[in-house]
Chain A
Amino acid sequence: MSEEQQLSFEEAMERLEAIVGRLENGDVPLETAIELFQEGMKLSQLCGSKLEQVERKIEVLIETENGFQKKPFAPSNEDRGE
């Protein structure tokens, strides 16, 4: 499980897509199919939970005497819309 948590979202999605592709192509031994299914379900949960991690981290780089530093950034006139 800890190994899966270290997967990036992209890696997890790609693995999930590959698993679904293999299962749909058939010719997978039943035991393998069940293992793949279980792995696929875990991956789909992992991907889903990664999408739920809403950080809204928006930062701006400010040049200081000590080099560049990150500061939170809020665009002006945000409520004006487009």
Chain B
Amino acid sequence: MALESRIYSIKEINRYIRMKLESDPLLGDVWLRGEISNFTHHSSGHMYFTLKDADSRLKCIMFASHNQKLPFMPKEGTKVLARGNFSVYERDGNYQFYVTQMQPDGIGSLYMAFEQLKRKLDGEGLFAEGRKRPIPRFPKAIGVITSPTGAAVRDIIITLQRRHPSVPVLLFPVLVQGKGAAPAIVKAIQIMNRMAEVDVLIVGRGGGSLEELWAFNEEAVARSIIASSIPVISAVGHETDFTIADFVSDLRAATPTAAAELAVPNIAELKSGISQLRTRLYQSLRTSAMRRKERLDRVRRSPIFMNPRKYMLQQAERLDRLKERLEQRTLRKAERSRDKLLRLQGALAGAHPGEKAAFEAKRLQAAAGRLESAMGSLMKERRMQVASTIRQLDALSPLKVMSRGYSLVYDEKENRLIKSIEDVQPGDLVKVKLADGQLDCQVWAMKGET
């Protein structure tokens, strides 16, 4: 009764409750465990869902800004751990849990097993691109290993038929979840390999929780895919689900439908491809023929066919000119050779010793001639000298004097020339020599010159 009585509007009270909630330290940041239901992924990107457990439910919203980085795709029935805060949507008077973080619940150990096996097989090089075999372009038959009842088998078969109805399909029905799944899948892959009737295998199942997909994370399944001699396309769950089977398969398909699309070519595309090939066949033959026709035309238009006589004359003229040139060249060459020969002969002759000998002989002859003539003139000179000497002698000869009237007196006995009166005695016999003879005389007296 002491309370002041005040009437609030709905809006006011909703706002008050919101303030109360938002200021509560526990409700401002809390982790919850629950299972997702009524999940809607709105086109705005926000996620609306209900978290529930056996006894209760809670309205939740996860804004696009927060859910973009989610490591998994929440689905109906997924058990999750969610972190967030509480607030009130004032318009409806609802309180809601605003989720900021979320992760699958109860699978921590599975995640760890997954990561461990992934690391182990990767370490063995079993994820290497080089290991992966090509999927045949035109498979003869497709093997499908999956549950015979799920949406996956239906999607695969419908897609295969739509794309390529003439390729046979052989289905190996297996459990795809639960304890028996992995051994069943391993056995199916082995039997398909033994039968060798198909040349591609699609192994997979539709979407599900990590636990439901778990068979495809089993090492035995991974090893049997690796051991398969038939190329394997894996098709497990949705786009966002990655399993070990995906890593070791030869080709990973995002969904079962995608697997079927990857397994067979589209028959419509094949047909148009064949008709294109046929067109190219026509065109290439036509092009080939056209090219040859053009070549033929070119040859036909060439001068030799247009005017063969003119061509022949031209060629004859050319031949003549060539002959002429050939002759000239030969002649010139012969001339040059002859010149050279002459030059060499000349040089050789110059060097010949006979020539030199003749030359020296001539020189000798000339020298002899000169000697002779020198001798001759010397002799002549001497003869003339002798002659003149003789003449001088002649002039001096006593006979000459005597012929001029002089005479010589010799002692008759001793035949000595008498030059003085004292050389004789009266009565001595003397001989007087005249120019033309001799007189025998006797000295009578001597009278000296006074």
Contacts and interface: CB of A to CB of B under 8 A. Distances in A.
Contacts of B257: 82
A44 to B, nearest CB: 5
A33 B270 contact: no
A33 B285 contact: yes
Q: Which of B140, B170, B271, B288 has the most CB of A within 10 A?
A: B288
A61 B170 contact: yes
A70 B170 contact: yes
A28 B285 CA distance: 10
Interface in A47-62: 47-48, 50-61
A24 B281 CA distance: 8
B284 interface: yes
Interface in B286-306: 287-289, 291-292
B168 A57 contact: yes
B206 to A, nearest CB: 12
B274 interface: yes
Interface in A1-51: 8-10, 13, 16-17, 19-20, 23-24, 26, 28, 30, 33-34, 37, 40-41, 44, 47-48, 50-51
B308 interface: no
Contact of A51 (B157, B170, B171, B270): B270
Interface range, B side = 35 or more
Given A10-B138, A16-B277, A33-B285, A73 B148 contact: yes
B280 interface: yes
B252 to A, nearest CB: 20
A78 interface: yes
A78 B284 contact: no
B149 interface: yes
Given A8-B140, A10-B137, A37 B191 contact: no
B281 A19 contact: yes
Contacts of A17: 277
Nearest to A17: B277
Give the dominant DSSP class at B's interface.
Answer: helix
A33 B292 CA distance: 12
Interface string B262-288: 000001001100110110111011011
Contacts of B155: 82
B281 A75 contact: no
A76 interface: yes
B153 interface: yes
B284 A20 contact: yes
Contacts of A70: 170
A51 B292 contact: no
A34 B292 CA distance: 13
A9 B191 contact: no
Contacts of B158: 75, 78, 81-82
B267 A30 contact: no
A64 interface: no
A44 B281 contact: yes
Contacts of A34: 285
Contacts of B284: 20, 23-24, 33, 37
Contacts of A58: 157, 161, 168-169, 171
Given A8-B138, A75-B158, A48 B281 contact: no
B278 A44 contact: yes
A48 B276 CA distance: 12
Nearest to B267: A51
Given A60-B171, A61-B172, A73-B171, A51 B271 contact: yes
B154 interface: yes
B315 interface: no
Contacts of B138: 8-10, 13
Given A53-B166, A58-B157, A68-B191, A47 B171 contact: no
A30 B288 CA distance: 7
A53 B158 CA distance: 18
A48 B275 CA distance: 9
A30 B280 contact: no
A49 B158 CA distance: 22
B173 interface: yes
A66 interface: no
Contacts of B180: none
Nearest to A27: B288
Nearest to A39: B281
Interface of A: 8-10, 13, 16-17, 19-20, 23-24, 26, 28, 30, 33-34, 37, 40-41, 44, 47-48, 50-61, 68, 70, 73, 75-78, 80-82
19 contacts: A8-B138, A9-B138, A10-B136, A13-B138, A16-B277, A24-B284, A26-B291, A30-B288, A33-B288, A37-B285, A44-B278, A54-B166, A55-B168, A57-B169, A58-B157, A58-B161, A59-B171, A61-B170, A80-B154
Q: Which 5 pairs across A and B sit closest by C-beta, in order of nearness?
A: A23-B284, A10-B138, A57-B168, A75-B154, A60-B171
